[in-house]
């Protein structure tokens, strides 16, 4: 279990165009960085909000994850290379490295600790949180910033195809970050990720042990039937609804946690699914 000391949330459903994040970053922090693109600016904004008001030690680690990564630059490089038969812009090529955003976040916040980008096809947020949880428990890290970043791109047909979603699904973008440390009395909340991927039987066994009053949030890939089954197994646990407030992106679970912690008290169990496998994580403001 790790302590959550700070939250940073940036979430939107753009319409037709990517929002001008350079201007937003400038107004938020007074800084603007050359050679950054939308994805990197998105990452900096979320991390900046999570760190605001906290004195970070320079060794604070960064764990960042994303479902799609820097997809608009990836699309542009593919167009340059394979359609226009041109060389890719060097800055685009560099920014396509998954950890480029982490490099800029570290520079923005003056951090010199570990800087990791965690990739996972099915559960990027849960696996990144698990990595932090393990490193904290093993004493490898004392404090960390963990963020999930996904951008909205104007080419919605491409985004839907890559995500394997129906073309009518509303997509959003977000940069949601937690500042975590060791268990402490001043923490906003505590977080625990179940350290394994579960099948349905294992999920049902675990759900039988959920304390009444725990709110339940469901990943957007769970079907209505799956949600109904789980709700029936967890009587006395209300559903936490967030779905109306955001479009789909793969790091939404971090948005759900930060949204809950910013406005609610109590326990939240987040249940996510991918290919009939489940992962759970719980935050509690009461421990």
Partner 1 sequence: MKGSLDQALKLRLKTMIIAECEKDHITPAEVADHIQLFSEVCILELDSLDALQISVALQNQFGVRLPDSKAFRRHVTTINELADFIQPG
Q: Does 87 bind partner 1 (CB under 8 A)?
A: yes
Q: Does 86 bind partner 1 (CB under 8 A)?
A: yes
* Number of residues forming the site for partner 1 (CB under 8 A): 9
Reference 257, options 177, 194, 141, 198; nearest CA is 177
**Edge-to-edge strand order for the sheet containing 267-274?**
115-118, 61-65, 143-150, 173-181, 2-12, 189-193, 277-284, 267-274, 215-218
Query: Which among 85-93, 107-115, 229-237, 241-249 is the span making contact with partner 1, rule CB under 8 A?
Result: 85-93
Query: Which among 57-65, 81-89, 133-141, 254-262 is the span making contact with partner 1, rule CB under 8 A?
Result: 81-89
Within 148-167, the residues that bind partner 1 by CB under 8 A are none
The nearer residue to partner 1, 89 or 277, going by C-beta atoms, is 89
Residue 115 phi, psi dihedral angles, 5° rounding = -135, 105
Q: Does 88 bind partner 1 (CB under 8 A)?
A: yes
The nearer residue to partner 1, 60 or 95, going by C-beta atoms, is 95
Rounded-to-integer distance, Cα 13 and Cα 252, Å: 13
Reference 152, options 27, 257, 38; nearest CA is 38
Reference 145, options 193, 195, 179, 112; nearest CA is 179
Pairing of strands 267-274, 215-218: parallel
Specify the residue for token string 């960390």: 144
Q: Does 19 bind partner 1 (CB under 8 A)?
A: no
The nearer residue to partner 1, 89 or 182, going by C-beta atoms, is 89
Within 35-74, the residues that bind partner 1 by CB under 8 A are 35
Q: Does 31 bind partner 1 (CB under 8 A)?
A: no
Task: List residues near partner 1 by CB under 8 A.
Answer: 34-35, 86-91, 94
């Amino acid at each position: 279990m790790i302590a959550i000391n700070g939250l940073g949330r940036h979430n939107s459903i753009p319409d037709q165009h990517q929002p001008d994040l350079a201007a937003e970053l400038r107004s938020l922090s007074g800084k603007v960085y050359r050679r950054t693109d939308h994805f990197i600016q998105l990452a900096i904004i979320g991390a900046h909000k999570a760190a605001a008001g906290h004195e970070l030690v320079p060794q604070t680690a960064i764990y960042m994850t994303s479902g799609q990564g820097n997809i608009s630059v990836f699309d542009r490089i593919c167009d340059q290379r394979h359609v226009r038969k041109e060389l890719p812009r060097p800055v685009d090529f560099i920014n396509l490295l998954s950890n480029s955003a982490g490099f800029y976040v570290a520079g923005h916040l003056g951090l010199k600790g570990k800087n990791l980008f965690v990739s996972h096809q099915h559960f990027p947020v849960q696996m990144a949180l698990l990595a932090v949880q393990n490193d904290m428990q093993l004493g490898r890290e004392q404090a960390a910033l963990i963020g999930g970043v996904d951008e909205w791109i104007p080419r919605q047909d491409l985004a839907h195809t890559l995500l394997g979603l129906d073309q009518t699904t509303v997509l959003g973008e977000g940069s949601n970050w937690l500042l975590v440390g060791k268990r402490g009395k001043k923490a906003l909340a505590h977080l625990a990720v179940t350290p394994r991927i579960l099948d349905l039987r294992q999920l049902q066994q675990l759900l039988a042990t959920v304390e009444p009053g725990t709110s339940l949030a469901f990943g957007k890939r769970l079907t209505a039937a799956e949600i109904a089954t789980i709700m029936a197994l967890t009587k006395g646990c209300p559903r936490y609804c967030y779905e109306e407030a955001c479009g789909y992106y793969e790091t939404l679970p971090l948005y759900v946690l930060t949204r809950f912690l910013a406005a609610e008290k109590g326990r939240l169990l987040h249940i996510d699914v991918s290919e009939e496998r489940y992962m759970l994580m719980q935050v509690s403001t009461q421990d």
